[in-house]
Amino acid sequence: KMTISFRVNPEYAKMSEIIPGLFICGVSSLTSEEIKKNKITHIINATTEVPNLRSLGDIQRTKLWLEDTPQTYIYPHLELQSDQIQAIIADGGKVLVHCVAGVSRSASICLAFLTKYR
């Protein structure tokens, strides 16, 4: 059995609404309660480490399989995910982008969206 331990500053990992319809968080805030409270309709999982958790309910998900290393080439994902976020928000949905800490991979995707569309 494999055990994964994450050391994440809980303050940074809190679920936060960046703009109406776009949320970011780290894995420690990835709970069904937070998903329901914020009415999340789609999750973008920007990790290799965290599985798409069934406990979060029947919700649309995108898994990006991005490693948290300086060598990870995230650029090819930025435009596609920005367009996806825009389409979901324009359709009245709410998107949560998460990684482990909620400060690198997920933040890069959110910043790409904000740069392109805001």
> Model confidence over 26-77: pLDDT tens digits?
888 889 999 999 999 999 999 878 777 777 888 999 999 988 888 888 899 9
Domain of 65, in residue numbers: 10-117
Structural domain includes residue 83? yes
Structural domain includes residue 4? no
CA contacts within 13 A on the Cβ side of 78: 17
pLDDT band at 84, cuts 50/70/90?
very high
Structural domain includes residue 80? yes
Q: Report the predicted TM-score, pTM, of the whole model to 2 decimal places.
A: 0.86
Structural domain includes residue 64? yes
- Catalytic site includes residue 110: no
The total of structural domains in the chain comes to: 1
Catalytic residue among 99, 100, 110, 112: 99
Inter-residue contact 82 to 113 (CB < 8 Å):
yes
Inter-residue contact 24 to 46 (CB < 8 Å):
no
Can you give the CATH number for the domain in which 108 is found?
Answer: 3.90.190.10
Structural domain includes residue 96? yes
Structural domain includes residue 1? no
Pick 48 or 3 by higher pLDDT.
Answer: 48
